[in-house]
Chains A and B, each alone.
Chain A
Amino acid sequence: MLNPQARAIRLIEWLLLISALILFAVGTLLGDTFFLRLATEALIFGGLAMSVDLLLGIVGLLSLGQALYFGFGAYLSALILKEISPSFSLAISIVILCSALLGWIASFIALRSKGVYFALITFGLAQVAAKVVYNTRSLGASDGMMGVPILSIWTPFGSLDAANPGTFFLITLLTIGALYAILKYFLTTPMGSLWHAIRSNEDRLAYVGYKSKAPKQVAFVLATVVAAVSGALYPMLRGFVSPELMFFSVSGNAVVTVVLGGVGTLIGPIMGSVLLTSFKSVIGTWTSHHHIVIGLIFVIIVISAPKGLAGLLTEHFRKGASDE
């Protein structure tokens, strides 16, 4: 039998998948645009939160600048779609390759330090990059880039129309789902165990024969690719990118999402993103001060469920198991 946390994760996976499919079916049937696009955005930012969680919850590294890689993916994808060809597979492949390279280079800078210094370096790198983009005329400077063309997606059954919100929602679901599956696969390998070991007691690792640098680098590169691929979906949904995507508010929001959903569960952050995005939208229609309401909700959740929503479920299953 699965342990309580694995059961909580399994439940969230099914919950999210089933609600996604119901939303798709109902949304398509009713010709909805708003909710499908909102859910697509939730998944995209969920991907970013997942990459923060890989570093924070699995390896124990707090990144305060993950928006840098998200924004990198978004800008690169917008550039490819606009300048080369509006092809989904081309944009995603180039983003994967380039972000892996970027993550590898950035890892040498960021992983020089640990703890709070790692957090500050990642924060600083992102601030620098955001400022550079903000001031680069060829990238649209503070306006960003608009007019990203509508995507065409090649499949063996013919080209898909990504202008249809239902279609693009499914594509996003598949992409984020694939990223999640890849990260979950890594957790079943010895590499995944090394990440947990680093979080638990990094200095001990040398005495069982490992340098901690290489596993941390693998995780950092993976997190960069996950953030960048999530970012690459953004201009496909919105048709534009702006330098705000790299700002601290996006990085910070991703950390909040992770804490809300459940640190170290990977799927918790996706659920956290779905909830936060819906809150923002729903509460935003009532009041323009929605940040106050969301802030209060966040405080209440962190106090009553410090391990996030996934932690609540884990606790529920643990109690259930001990009652039996």
Chain B
Amino acid sequence: MNKSEAILKAINLSKRFGGLTAVDDISFEVAPLGVTSIIGPNGAGKSTLFNLLSGTFKPDSGSVFLKDQDLTRMNPEERLFAGMARSFQITNLFFDLSVIDNLRIASQVLEPKQYLYLPLSNSSMALARADELLVEFGLLDSRNQLAGALSHGQQRRLEIAVTLATKPKLLLLDEPTQGMSQGDTQETAELIQQLGSKITVLLIEHDVDLVMDLSKAVIVMAQGKKLAEGSPQDVRSNPLVQTAYFGEETA
């Protein structure tokens, strides 16, 4: 991969919590478009790595670049403006607000600042964007329901829709199918595939089969370190990965 081609670059990222090194000197690059996945057993440090990429935590060392822009010191809201958005493993919405309000608030940030103090009807761009997402994610029937009253599958869909409100270049998805039924998982997988044709998706996922189907590239983590990376086939046949991760699953 040509260096300047990568949309996301993580360079020597490390994060320690007390005596535990959750992320240990990890470097990787993500090429534009398509789905790239990070897999690894529980406690491998995937979520911490995600939190470093999205700005929830600041790394102890190393840096994060989006294209040529250094994001390392930026807050989550600044990273959003740079073109990076994320979802959460545990559904994280404005639960007491309606579905449309969740989407509108997420879209609102693109409007000029003074619109904050004008009646809502002025924010036509945000309203249009919210309605667009409502249709795209099949939530039209739940438009005025509270986000907290949706089914788990609908909430996971809304979570992704909210992250797309600002049309990010790079989307970080943290276990989007967590706790979903078989049918919902399949639907969401298709959705992620479609997203990958328009923007770059970086995915953390437990479901290895799902990842192998969706991804053009896979990064394997174990105990805070990068174990392997490459195409799904390369990774699957990598003996290191076989022992560390797939274990008896493939045996």
Q: Which of A191, A203, A206, A209 touches B117 (beta carbons < 8 Å)?
A: A191
- CB atoms of A190 and B101 under 8 A apart: no
Measured between beta carbons, the chain B residues less than 8 angstroms from A205 are 77
Q: Is B1 an interface residue (CB 8 A)?
A: no
Q: Is B70 an interface residue (CB 8 A)?
A: no
Measured between beta carbons, the chain B residues less than 8 angstroms from A3 are 144
Q: Which of B54, B81, B108, B162 touches A193 (beta carbons < 8 Å)?
A: B108
Q: Closest CB-CB distance, A127 to chain B, in whole Å?
A: 32
Cα-based distance from A83 to B170 in the complex (angstroms): 63
Q: Is A290 an interface residue (CB 8 A)?
A: no
Q: Is A200 an interface residue (CB 8 A)?
A: yes
Cα-based distance from A252 to B163 in the complex (angstroms): 41
Q: Is A19 an interface residue (CB 8 A)?
A: no
Cα-based distance from A312 to B150 in the complex (angstroms): 25
Tell me which of A205, A209, A211 has the highest count of chain B C-beta atoms within 10 A of its own C-beta.
Answer: A209
- CB atoms of B92 and A204 under 8 A apart: yes
Q: Which of B94, B108, B126 touches A204 (beta carbons < 8 Å)?
A: B94
Q: CB within 8 Å of B: which of A187-212?
A: 188-191, 193-194, 196-197, 199-201, 203-211
Tell me which of B106, B115, B116, B163 has the highest count of chain A C-beta atoms within 10 A of its own C-beta.
Answer: B116
- CB atoms of A208 and B95 under 8 A apart: no
- CB atoms of B123 and A190 under 8 A apart: yes
- CB atoms of A209 and B97 under 8 A apart: no
Q: Which of B95, B120, B163 touches A200 (beta carbons < 8 Å)?
A: B95
Cα-based distance from A196 to B54 in the complex (angstroms): 24
Q: Is B166 an interface residue (CB 8 A)?
A: yes
Main secondary structure, interface of A, reads helix
> Provided the pairs A189-B120, A193-B104 are in contact, do residues A210 and B97 lie with their beta carbons within 8 angstroms?
no
> Provided the pairs A200-B95, A201-B94, A201-B95 are in contact, do residues A190 and B105 lie with their beta carbons within 8 angstroms?
yes
Q: Which of B75, B80, B97 touches A197 (beta carbons < 8 Å)?
A: B97
Chain B minimum-CB-distance residue to A60 = B96
Q: Is B86 an interface residue (CB 8 A)?
A: yes
- CB atoms of B109 and A188 under 8 A apart: no
Measured between beta carbons, the chain B residues less than 8 angstroms from A200 are 94-97
Q: Is B118 an interface residue (CB 8 A)?
A: yes
Count, chain B residues at interface, CB 8 A: 35
Q: CB within 8 Å of A: which of B120-137?
A: 120, 123, 126
- CB atoms of A207 and B96 under 8 A apart: no
- CB atoms of B119 and A208 under 8 A apart: no
Measured between beta carbons, the chain B residues less than 8 angstroms from A197 are 94, 97, 101, 105
Cα-based distance from A271 to B117 in the complex (angstroms): 28
Interface residues on A, range: 20 to 34
- CB atoms of B119 and A194 under 8 A apart: no
- CB atoms of A196 and B81 under 8 A apart: no
- CB atoms of B116 and A190 under 8 A apart: yes
Tell me which of B75, B80, B94, B162 has the highest count of chain A C-beta atoms within 10 A of its own C-beta.
Answer: B94
Measured between beta carbons, the chain B residues less than 8 angstroms from A209 are 77, 80-81, 106, 109, 166
Measured between beta carbons, the chain A residues less than 8 angstroms from B104 are 190, 193
Q: Which of A185, A190, A207 touches B76 (beta carbons < 8 Å)?
A: A207
Measured between beta carbons, the chain A residues less than 8 angstroms from B44 are none
Q: Which of B75, B119, B162 touches A189 (beta carbons < 8 Å)?
A: B119
Measured between beta carbons, the chain A residues less than 8 angstroms from B92 are 201, 203-204, 207
> Provided the pairs A193-B108, A196-B101, A197-B97 are in contact, do residues A208 and B162 lie with their beta carbons within 8 angstroms?
yes
Q: CB within 8 Å of B: which of A1-17?
A: 3
- CB atoms of A208 and B75 under 8 A apart: no
Measured between beta carbons, the chain A residues less than 8 angstroms from B54 are 207
Measured between beta carbons, the chain A residues less than 8 angstroms from B76 are 206-207
Cα-based distance from A284 to B88 in the complex (angstroms): 56
Annotate B89-107 by CB proximity to A: 1 below 8 A, 0 otherwise: 0001111110001001110
Chain B minimum-CB-distance residue to A187 = B120
Q: Is B190 an interface residue (CB 8 A)?
A: no
- CB atoms of A196 and B120 under 8 A apart: no
Q: Closest CB-CB distance, B45 to chain A, in whole Å?
A: 21
- CB atoms of A208 and B80 under 8 A apart: yes
- CB atoms of B116 and A191 under 8 A apart: yes
- CB atoms of A210 and B77 under 8 A apart: yes
Cα-based distance from A165 to B108 in the complex (angstroms): 47
> Provided the pairs A188-B120, A191-B116 are in contact, do residues A210 and B93 lie with their beta carbons within 8 angstroms?
no
Q: Closest CB-CB distance, A313 to chain B, in whole Å?
A: 19
> Provided the pairs A208-B105, A208-B162, A210-B77 are in contact, do residues A189 and B96 lie with their beta carbons within 8 angstroms?
no
Q: Is B207 an interface residue (CB 8 A)?
A: no
Annotate A239-267 by CB proximity to B: 1 below 8 A, 0 otherwise: 00000000000000000000000000000
Q: Is B13 an interface residue (CB 8 A)?
A: no
Cβ contacts A to B, 12 pairs, < 8 Å: A190-B108, A193-B105, A193-B108, A194-B105, A200-B94, A200-B96, A203-B92, A204-B92, A207-B80, A207-B88, A208-B80, A210-B77
If A186-B117, A207-B92, A210-B77 are given as contacts, then 13 extra A-B residue pairs at C-beta distance below 8 Å, sorted by A number, are A3-B144, A185-B119, A189-B120, A190-B108, A190-B111, A194-B105, A200-B96, A201-B95, A207-B77, A208-B165, A209-B77, A209-B81, A210-B109
